[in-house]
Amino acid sequence: AVANTAVKPFGDAFVRLIKMLIIPLISTTLVAGVTAMGDPKKLGTLGARTIGMYLVTTFFAVNLGLLVGTFFQPGAGVDYETAGAAAIDSVRGKIETADAAGGIVERFLQIIPTNPIESLASGAVLPTIFFAILIGIGILLAGAVADPVKNFFEAASEVVMRITMLVMELAPYGVLALMTWVMATQGIEILWNMGKLAASLYLACGLQIILVYGFLIIGCLLKLPVKQYLRGIADAQGVAFSTASSNATLPVSISCAENNLGVDKSVAGSVLPLGATINMDGTAIYLGLIALFAAQATGIDLTAMHYFMVALTATLVSIGAAGIPSAGLLLAATVLEVIGIGPEQSVLVIAFIFPFDRLLDMMRTVTNISGDAAVACAVGKWDGNLDESVFRSDTEV
Ligand code: ASP
Protein backbone atom coordinates (compact mmCIF):
# COMPACT_ATOMS: atom_id res chain seq x y z
CA ALA A 1 0.00 0.00 0.00
CA VAL A 2 2.85 2.33 0.85
CA ALA A 3 4.42 1.71 -2.52
CA ASN A 4 1.14 2.52 -4.22
CA THR A 5 0.37 5.75 -2.43
CA ALA A 6 3.78 7.16 -1.66
CA VAL A 7 6.02 6.03 -4.51
CA LYS A 8 3.77 5.44 -7.49
CA PRO A 9 2.91 9.14 -8.10
CA PHE A 10 6.59 9.93 -8.68
CA GLY A 11 6.82 7.17 -11.25
CA ASP A 12 3.56 8.27 -12.85
CA ALA A 13 4.76 11.86 -13.05
CA PHE A 14 7.90 10.72 -14.83
CA VAL A 15 5.92 8.61 -17.29
CA ARG A 16 3.59 11.52 -17.99
CA LEU A 17 6.57 13.79 -18.62
CA ILE A 18 8.08 11.48 -21.24
CA LYS A 19 4.72 10.69 -22.82
CA MET A 20 4.17 14.43 -23.11
CA LEU A 21 7.20 14.54 -25.42
CA ILE A 22 6.32 11.71 -27.81
CA ILE A 23 4.15 13.58 -30.31
CA PRO A 24 6.11 16.87 -30.21
CA LEU A 25 9.32 14.89 -30.65
CA ILE A 26 8.16 12.74 -33.56
CA SER A 27 6.49 15.60 -35.38
CA THR A 28 9.52 17.88 -35.20
CA THR A 29 12.47 15.45 -35.27
CA LEU A 30 11.09 13.39 -38.10
CA VAL A 31 10.38 16.42 -40.31
CA ALA A 32 13.81 17.85 -39.53
CA GLY A 33 15.32 14.41 -40.14
CA VAL A 34 13.79 14.10 -43.59
CA THR A 35 14.75 17.63 -44.62
CA ALA A 36 18.29 17.05 -43.34
CA MET A 37 18.65 14.21 -45.84
CA GLY A 38 18.31 16.77 -48.57
CA ASP A 39 16.97 14.36 -51.20
CA PRO A 40 13.68 12.43 -51.13
CA LYS A 41 15.36 9.52 -52.92
CA LYS A 42 17.63 8.94 -49.93
CA LEU A 43 14.51 8.34 -47.91
CA GLY A 44 13.72 5.33 -50.08
CA THR A 45 17.13 3.77 -49.46
CA LEU A 46 16.92 4.51 -45.76
CA GLY A 47 13.42 3.09 -45.55
CA ALA A 48 14.34 -0.09 -47.41
CA ARG A 49 17.44 -0.69 -45.28
CA THR A 50 15.55 0.02 -42.07
CA ILE A 51 12.68 -2.32 -42.82
CA GLY A 52 15.11 -4.96 -44.11
CA MET A 53 17.11 -4.84 -40.88
CA TYR A 54 13.96 -4.89 -38.78
CA LEU A 55 12.85 -8.07 -40.51
CA VAL A 56 16.28 -9.67 -40.14
CA THR A 57 16.44 -8.99 -36.39
CA THR A 58 12.88 -10.27 -35.90
CA PHE A 59 13.75 -13.42 -37.84
CA PHE A 60 16.60 -14.13 -35.42
CA ALA A 61 14.35 -13.33 -32.46
CA VAL A 62 11.53 -15.66 -33.43
CA ASN A 63 13.91 -18.55 -33.98
CA LEU A 64 15.76 -17.89 -30.76
CA GLY A 65 12.46 -17.91 -28.85
CA LEU A 66 11.36 -21.18 -30.44
CA LEU A 67 14.75 -22.75 -29.78
CA VAL A 68 14.80 -21.80 -26.11
CA GLY A 69 11.13 -22.79 -25.67
CA THR A 70 11.69 -26.19 -27.24
CA PHE A 71 14.68 -26.78 -25.04
CA PHE A 72 13.26 -25.59 -21.70
CA GLN A 73 9.66 -26.73 -22.15
CA PRO A 74 8.10 -23.88 -20.13
CA GLY A 75 4.57 -25.28 -20.48
CA ALA A 76 5.28 -28.88 -19.50
CA GLY A 77 3.02 -29.92 -16.63
CA VAL A 78 1.28 -26.53 -16.35
CA ASP A 79 -2.47 -26.46 -15.80
CA TYR A 80 -3.57 -23.14 -17.22
CA GLU A 81 -7.27 -23.77 -16.74
CA THR A 82 -7.06 -22.63 -13.15
CA ALA A 83 -7.60 -18.92 -13.84
CA GLY A 84 -10.64 -17.53 -11.96
CA ALA A 85 -13.84 -16.44 -13.71
CA ALA A 86 -13.32 -12.77 -12.83
CA ALA A 87 -9.80 -12.80 -14.23
CA ILE A 88 -11.03 -14.47 -17.40
CA ASP A 89 -13.77 -11.88 -17.90
CA SER A 90 -11.45 -8.96 -17.39
CA VAL A 91 -8.90 -10.41 -19.82
CA ARG A 92 -11.64 -11.08 -22.38
CA GLY A 93 -12.54 -7.37 -22.29
CA LYS A 94 -8.92 -6.37 -22.72
CA ILE A 95 -8.43 -8.74 -25.63
CA GLU A 96 -11.47 -7.28 -27.35
CA THR A 97 -10.09 -3.77 -26.95
CA ALA A 98 -6.72 -4.88 -28.30
CA ASP A 99 -8.43 -6.54 -31.26
CA ALA A 100 -10.66 -3.53 -31.89
CA ALA A 101 -8.01 -2.04 -34.15
CA GLY A 102 -9.25 -4.57 -36.69
CA GLY A 103 -7.37 -6.96 -38.92
CA ILE A 104 -3.95 -6.39 -40.32
CA VAL A 105 -5.29 -4.67 -43.47
CA GLU A 106 -7.39 -2.31 -41.39
CA ARG A 107 -4.38 -1.48 -39.25
CA PHE A 108 -2.29 -0.62 -42.27
CA LEU A 109 -5.05 1.60 -43.65
CA GLN A 110 -5.20 3.50 -40.40
CA ILE A 111 -1.60 4.60 -40.89
CA ILE A 112 -2.99 7.15 -43.33
CA PRO A 113 -4.65 9.81 -41.19
CA THR A 114 -7.84 11.36 -42.50
CA ASN A 115 -7.24 14.20 -40.10
CA PRO A 116 -3.57 14.75 -39.16
CA ILE A 117 -4.47 17.24 -36.44
CA GLU A 118 -6.63 14.62 -34.81
CA SER A 119 -3.73 12.14 -34.96
CA LEU A 120 -1.53 14.64 -33.18
CA ALA A 121 -4.21 15.33 -30.60
CA SER A 122 -4.97 11.68 -29.89
CA GLY A 123 -1.30 10.70 -29.80
CA ALA A 124 -1.60 8.19 -32.66
CA VAL A 125 2.03 7.39 -33.44
CA LEU A 126 1.96 5.75 -36.88
CA PRO A 127 -0.31 8.32 -38.60
CA THR A 128 1.84 11.07 -37.09
CA ILE A 129 4.98 9.42 -38.50
CA PHE A 130 3.31 9.10 -41.89
CA PHE A 131 2.27 12.72 -42.02
CA ALA A 132 5.58 14.04 -40.69
CA ILE A 133 7.50 12.18 -43.41
CA LEU A 134 5.23 13.71 -46.03
CA ILE A 135 5.72 17.21 -44.62
CA GLY A 136 9.47 16.65 -44.83
CA ILE A 137 9.20 15.47 -48.44
CA GLY A 138 6.95 18.43 -49.26
CA ILE A 139 9.53 20.84 -47.86
CA LEU A 140 12.28 19.23 -49.94
CA LEU A 141 10.19 19.35 -53.10
CA ALA A 142 9.19 22.96 -52.53
CA GLY A 143 12.86 24.00 -52.38
CA ALA A 144 13.94 27.48 -51.36
CA VAL A 145 10.47 28.92 -50.67
CA ALA A 146 10.03 26.37 -47.90
CA ASP A 147 13.23 27.39 -46.12
CA PRO A 148 11.39 29.18 -43.30
CA VAL A 149 9.32 26.05 -42.60
CA LYS A 150 12.43 23.91 -42.79
CA ASN A 151 14.28 26.15 -40.35
CA PHE A 152 11.28 26.19 -38.06
CA PHE A 153 11.17 22.41 -37.76
CA GLU A 154 14.93 22.21 -37.32
CA ALA A 155 14.84 24.73 -34.50
CA ALA A 156 11.73 23.17 -32.97
CA SER A 157 13.31 19.72 -32.92
CA GLU A 158 16.31 21.19 -31.11
CA VAL A 159 13.98 22.74 -28.51
CA VAL A 160 12.09 19.49 -27.91
CA MET A 161 15.38 17.61 -27.61
CA ARG A 162 16.48 20.06 -24.88
CA ILE A 163 13.23 19.43 -22.99
CA THR A 164 13.82 15.68 -23.36
CA MET A 165 17.27 16.03 -21.86
CA LEU A 166 15.81 18.01 -18.97
CA VAL A 167 13.24 15.31 -18.30
CA MET A 168 15.99 12.70 -18.50
CA GLU A 169 17.63 14.29 -15.48
CA LEU A 170 14.71 12.83 -13.55
CA ALA A 171 15.10 9.35 -15.04
CA PRO A 172 16.95 7.72 -12.13
CA TYR A 173 14.24 8.82 -9.68
CA GLY A 174 11.40 7.93 -12.02
CA VAL A 175 12.84 4.50 -12.76
CA LEU A 176 13.50 3.87 -9.07
CA ALA A 177 9.93 4.83 -8.14
CA LEU A 178 8.44 2.61 -10.85
CA MET A 179 10.65 -0.31 -9.90
CA THR A 180 9.75 -0.01 -6.23
CA TRP A 181 6.11 -0.10 -7.21
CA VAL A 182 6.53 -3.11 -9.53
CA MET A 183 8.45 -5.07 -6.92
CA ALA A 184 5.90 -4.26 -4.23
CA THR A 185 2.86 -5.16 -6.31
CA GLN A 186 4.10 -8.07 -8.43
CA GLY A 187 5.64 -10.11 -5.68
CA ILE A 188 7.90 -13.04 -6.13
CA GLU A 189 5.17 -15.64 -6.71
CA ILE A 190 6.01 -15.47 -10.36
CA LEU A 191 9.07 -17.52 -9.64
CA TRP A 192 6.88 -20.43 -8.60
CA ASN A 193 4.04 -20.07 -11.03
CA MET A 194 5.65 -19.02 -14.22
CA GLY A 195 9.29 -19.67 -13.45
CA LYS A 196 10.19 -21.52 -16.61
CA LEU A 197 8.31 -19.20 -18.93
CA ALA A 198 9.96 -16.18 -17.31
CA ALA A 199 13.40 -17.80 -17.38
CA SER A 200 12.99 -18.78 -21.03
CA LEU A 201 11.93 -15.27 -22.00
CA TYR A 202 14.73 -13.57 -20.07
CA LEU A 203 17.27 -15.97 -21.51
CA ALA A 204 16.10 -15.61 -25.12
CA CYS A 205 15.88 -11.82 -24.81
CA GLY A 206 19.31 -11.67 -23.19
CA LEU A 207 20.78 -13.74 -26.03
CA GLN A 208 19.06 -11.55 -28.60
CA ILE A 209 20.57 -8.40 -27.07
CA ILE A 210 24.07 -9.74 -26.49
CA LEU A 211 24.49 -12.05 -29.49
CA VAL A 212 22.32 -10.61 -32.24
CA TYR A 213 22.52 -6.87 -31.52
CA GLY A 214 25.82 -6.73 -29.70
CA PHE A 215 28.00 -9.40 -31.26
CA LEU A 216 26.50 -9.77 -34.75
CA ILE A 217 25.29 -6.29 -35.65
CA ILE A 218 27.41 -3.87 -33.62
CA GLY A 219 30.56 -6.01 -33.39
CA CYS A 220 30.82 -8.06 -36.60
CA LEU A 221 28.76 -6.04 -39.05
CA LEU A 222 29.61 -2.50 -37.95
CA LYS A 223 32.98 -3.16 -36.28
CA LEU A 224 32.08 -0.98 -33.32
CA PRO A 225 32.67 -1.65 -29.60
CA VAL A 226 29.76 -3.57 -28.09
CA LYS A 227 30.42 -2.13 -24.65
CA GLN A 228 29.77 1.42 -25.85
CA TYR A 229 26.52 0.35 -27.49
CA LEU A 230 25.28 -1.20 -24.25
CA ARG A 231 26.41 1.79 -22.20
CA GLY A 232 24.90 4.22 -24.65
CA ILE A 233 21.43 2.70 -24.49
CA ALA A 234 21.42 1.95 -20.76
CA ASP A 235 19.14 4.90 -19.96
CA ALA A 236 16.61 3.84 -22.56
CA GLN A 237 16.77 0.26 -21.30
CA GLY A 238 16.10 1.45 -17.76
CA VAL A 239 13.06 3.42 -18.85
CA ALA A 240 11.84 0.54 -21.04
CA PHE A 241 12.23 -1.93 -18.17
CA SER A 242 10.33 0.24 -15.74
CA THR A 243 7.54 1.45 -18.06
CA ALA A 244 7.06 -1.68 -20.24
CA SER A 245 6.22 0.58 -23.15
CA SER A 246 8.31 1.17 -26.27
CA ASN A 247 6.20 4.20 -27.11
CA ALA A 248 6.79 5.85 -23.76
CA THR A 249 10.51 5.09 -24.07
CA LEU A 250 10.77 6.66 -27.52
CA PRO A 251 11.97 10.13 -26.45
CA VAL A 252 14.71 8.50 -24.37
CA SER A 253 15.70 6.13 -27.18
CA ILE A 254 16.07 9.05 -29.58
CA SER A 255 18.08 11.03 -27.07
CA CYS A 256 20.41 8.07 -26.34
CA ALA A 257 20.91 7.30 -30.04
CA GLU A 258 21.78 10.91 -30.88
CA ASN A 259 23.76 11.94 -27.84
CA ASN A 260 25.49 8.70 -26.81
CA LEU A 261 25.71 6.63 -29.99
CA GLY A 262 26.33 9.51 -32.39
CA VAL A 263 23.47 8.59 -34.70
CA ASP A 264 22.49 11.59 -36.79
CA LYS A 265 19.16 13.25 -36.14
CA SER A 266 17.94 12.38 -39.64
CA VAL A 267 18.38 8.67 -38.89
CA ALA A 268 17.46 8.55 -35.20
CA GLY A 269 14.38 10.67 -35.80
CA SER A 270 13.02 8.42 -38.53
CA VAL A 271 14.30 4.91 -37.74
CA LEU A 272 13.42 4.89 -34.03
CA PRO A 273 9.79 6.10 -34.14
CA LEU A 274 9.13 3.50 -36.81
CA GLY A 275 10.94 0.83 -34.81
CA ALA A 276 9.02 1.59 -31.63
CA THR A 277 5.83 0.55 -33.37
CA ILE A 278 6.87 -2.12 -35.86
CA ASN A 279 10.11 -3.69 -34.61
CA MET A 280 9.37 -5.76 -31.54
CA ASP A 281 11.84 -8.59 -31.23
CA GLY A 282 11.15 -9.26 -27.55
CA THR A 283 7.45 -9.48 -28.36
CA ALA A 284 8.17 -11.86 -31.25
CA ILE A 285 10.24 -14.07 -28.93
CA TYR A 286 7.42 -14.02 -26.41
CA LEU A 287 4.69 -14.92 -28.90
CA GLY A 288 6.68 -17.95 -30.03
CA LEU A 289 7.22 -18.97 -26.42
CA ILE A 290 3.52 -18.62 -25.58
CA ALA A 291 2.63 -20.90 -28.49
CA LEU A 292 5.09 -23.52 -27.26
CA PHE A 293 3.92 -23.01 -23.67
CA ALA A 294 0.29 -23.68 -24.65
CA ALA A 295 1.20 -26.62 -26.88
CA GLN A 296 3.26 -28.22 -24.14
CA ALA A 297 0.59 -27.62 -21.50
CA THR A 298 -2.16 -29.15 -23.66
CA GLY A 299 0.05 -31.90 -25.08
CA ILE A 300 -0.24 -30.82 -28.71
CA ASP A 301 2.54 -32.29 -30.85
CA LEU A 302 3.94 -29.61 -33.10
CA THR A 303 4.96 -30.36 -36.67
CA ALA A 304 7.57 -28.48 -38.68
CA MET A 305 4.68 -26.72 -40.43
CA HIS A 306 3.37 -25.57 -37.05
CA TYR A 307 6.75 -24.10 -36.18
CA PHE A 308 6.86 -22.30 -39.48
CA MET A 309 3.36 -20.87 -39.06
CA VAL A 310 4.09 -19.83 -35.47
CA ALA A 311 7.23 -18.02 -36.63
CA LEU A 312 5.33 -16.27 -39.39
CA THR A 313 2.34 -15.18 -37.31
CA ALA A 314 4.55 -14.17 -34.36
CA THR A 315 6.45 -11.89 -36.73
CA LEU A 316 3.27 -10.36 -38.15
CA VAL A 317 1.62 -9.87 -34.77
CA SER A 318 4.80 -8.30 -33.35
CA ILE A 319 4.72 -5.83 -36.23
CA GLY A 320 1.05 -5.05 -35.66
CA ALA A 321 1.19 -4.78 -31.86
CA ALA A 322 1.28 -1.33 -30.31
CA GLY A 323 4.23 -0.33 -28.11
CA ILE A 324 2.20 -0.29 -24.92
CA PRO A 325 2.12 -2.57 -21.87
CA SER A 326 0.85 -6.14 -22.46
CA ALA A 327 0.02 -5.49 -26.13
CA GLY A 328 1.91 -8.63 -27.15
CA LEU A 329 0.12 -10.98 -24.77
CA LEU A 330 -3.35 -9.65 -25.57
CA LEU A 331 -2.83 -10.38 -29.27
CA ALA A 332 -1.47 -13.90 -28.69
CA ALA A 333 -4.70 -15.59 -29.86
CA THR A 334 -3.67 -15.17 -33.52
CA VAL A 335 -0.53 -17.20 -32.90
CA LEU A 336 -2.31 -19.81 -30.78
CA GLU A 337 -4.86 -20.31 -33.53
CA VAL A 338 -2.29 -21.70 -35.96
CA ILE A 339 -1.44 -24.56 -33.60
CA GLY A 340 -5.13 -25.41 -33.24
CA ILE A 341 -6.00 -23.62 -30.01
CA GLY A 342 -9.46 -22.07 -30.35
CA PRO A 343 -10.52 -18.59 -29.16
CA GLU A 344 -12.09 -19.82 -25.89
CA GLN A 345 -9.04 -21.83 -24.97
CA SER A 346 -6.67 -18.99 -25.78
CA VAL A 347 -8.60 -16.69 -23.43
CA LEU A 348 -7.76 -19.19 -20.68
CA VAL A 349 -4.09 -19.25 -21.61
CA ILE A 350 -3.90 -15.46 -21.73
CA ALA A 351 -5.83 -15.06 -18.46
CA PHE A 352 -3.46 -17.51 -16.80
CA ILE A 353 -0.38 -15.55 -17.84
CA PHE A 354 -1.81 -12.03 -17.57
CA PRO A 355 -1.35 -11.46 -13.81
CA PHE A 356 2.40 -12.06 -14.21
CA ASP A 357 2.80 -10.38 -17.54
CA ARG A 358 4.31 -7.16 -16.25
CA LEU A 359 7.61 -8.75 -15.27
CA LEU A 360 7.82 -10.43 -18.66
CA ASP A 361 6.74 -7.30 -20.49
CA MET A 362 9.57 -5.33 -18.92
CA MET A 363 12.20 -7.58 -20.47
CA ARG A 364 10.63 -7.77 -23.90
CA THR A 365 10.30 -3.99 -24.03
CA VAL A 366 14.02 -3.66 -23.21
CA THR A 367 14.71 -6.03 -26.10
CA ASN A 368 12.34 -4.19 -28.43
CA ILE A 369 14.02 -0.83 -27.98
CA SER A 370 17.58 -2.24 -27.94
CA GLY A 371 16.88 -3.71 -31.38
CA ASP A 372 15.66 -0.38 -32.68
CA ALA A 373 18.84 1.30 -31.46
CA ALA A 374 21.12 -1.34 -33.04
CA VAL A 375 19.33 -0.95 -36.37
CA ALA A 376 19.60 2.85 -36.11
CA CYS A 377 23.38 2.47 -35.67
CA ALA A 378 23.60 0.15 -38.69
CA VAL A 379 21.50 2.29 -41.00
CA GLY A 380 23.32 5.40 -39.76
CA LYS A 381 26.75 3.94 -40.38
CA TRP A 382 25.87 2.74 -43.87
CA ASP A 383 24.93 6.15 -45.12
CA GLY A 384 27.62 8.08 -43.27
CA ASN A 385 25.30 9.33 -40.55
CA LEU A 386 27.03 7.87 -37.54
CA ASP A 387 29.61 9.92 -35.67
CA GLU A 388 31.98 7.24 -34.45
CA SER A 389 33.86 9.59 -32.16
CA VAL A 390 30.63 10.07 -30.20
CA PHE A 391 29.89 6.34 -30.28
CA ARG A 392 33.34 5.45 -29.00
CA SER A 393 33.59 8.21 -26.41
CA ASP A 394 33.04 7.45 -22.75
CA THR A 395 31.02 10.53 -21.90
CA GLU A 396 27.30 10.22 -21.68
CA VAL A 397 24.77 12.97 -21.81
N1 ASP B 1 5.07 -3.74 -24.03
C2 ASP B 1 5.75 -4.03 -25.25
C3 ASP B 1 6.32 -2.76 -25.83
O4 ASP B 1 5.83 -1.70 -25.59
C5 ASP B 1 4.87 -4.72 -26.24
C6 ASP B 1 4.50 -6.09 -25.72
O7 ASP B 1 3.54 -6.21 -24.97
O8 ASP B 1 5.19 -7.07 -26.04
O9 ASP B 1 7.29 -2.79 -26.52
Best substitution site from 126, 365, 369 to test ligand 1's pocket, by max atoms within 8 Å of Cβ? 365
Q: Which residues contact 55 (CB under 8 A, 6 or more apart)?
A: 315
Alpha-carbon torsion (48, 50, 53, 54), positive or negative: negative
Report how far ligand 1's centroid is from the alpha carbon of 69 (Å): 19
Report how far ligand 1's centroid is from the alpha carbon of 143 (Å): 40
C-alpha span between 176 and 3 (Å, rounded): 11
Report how far ligand 1's centroid is from the alpha carbon of 354 (Å): 13
Report how far ligand 1's centroid is from the alpha carbon of 395 (Å): 30
Q: Which residues line ligand 1 (CB under 6 A)?
A: 244-246, 280, 283, 286, 321, 323-328, 361, 364-365, 368
C-alpha span between 169 and 100 (Å, rounded): 37
Each residue's pLDDT tens digit, 241-261: 999 999 999 999 999 999 999
Report how far ligand 1's centroid is from the alpha carbon of 367 (Å): 10
Report how far ligand 1's centroid is from the alpha carbon of 141 (Å): 37
What pairs with residue 263 in β-bridges?
Answer: 386
Best substitution site from 202, 253, 285, 326 to test ligand 1's pocket, by max atoms within 8 Å of Cβ? 326
Tens-digit pLDDT string for the chain (397 aa): 565 667 888 888 999 998 899 899 888 988 998 898 888 888 888 989 999 999 999 999 999 999 999 999 988 888 777 777 777 888 888 888 777 665 667 777 888 999 999 988 988 888 998 999 999 999 999 999 999 999 999 999 999 989 988 998 888 888 888 888 877 776 665 555 578 899 999 999 999 999 999 999 999 999 999 999 999 999 999 999 999 999 999 999 999 999 999 999 889 988 998 899 889 999 999 999 999 999 999 889 999 999 999 999 999 999 888 888 898 999 899 899 999 998 888 898 998 888 888 889 999 999 999 999 999 999 999 989 999 999 998 766 5
C-alpha span between 345 and 32 (Å, rounded): 48
Three-class SS of residue 39?
A: coil
Instruction: Name the residue at shortest CA distance from atom 1 of ligand 1.
Output: 325
Three-class SS of residue 280?
A: coil
Question: What's the pLDDT at 103?
Answer: 63
Tell me if 358 sits within 8 A of 11, measured CB to CB.
no
Question: What's the pLDDT at 136?
Answer: 93
For residue 249, give the ligand 1 atom closest to its CA: 4
For residue 330, give the ligand 1 atom closest to its CA: 7
What is the Cβ-side half-sphere exposure of residue 206, based on CA atoms within 13 angstroms?
Answer: 7
Question: What's the pLDDT at 56?
Answer: 95
Question: What's the pLDDT at 172?
Answer: 85
Each residue's pLDDT tens digit, 199-223: 999 999 999 999 999 999 999 999 9
Four-CA torsion 122, 123, 127, 133, nearest 10 degrees: 130
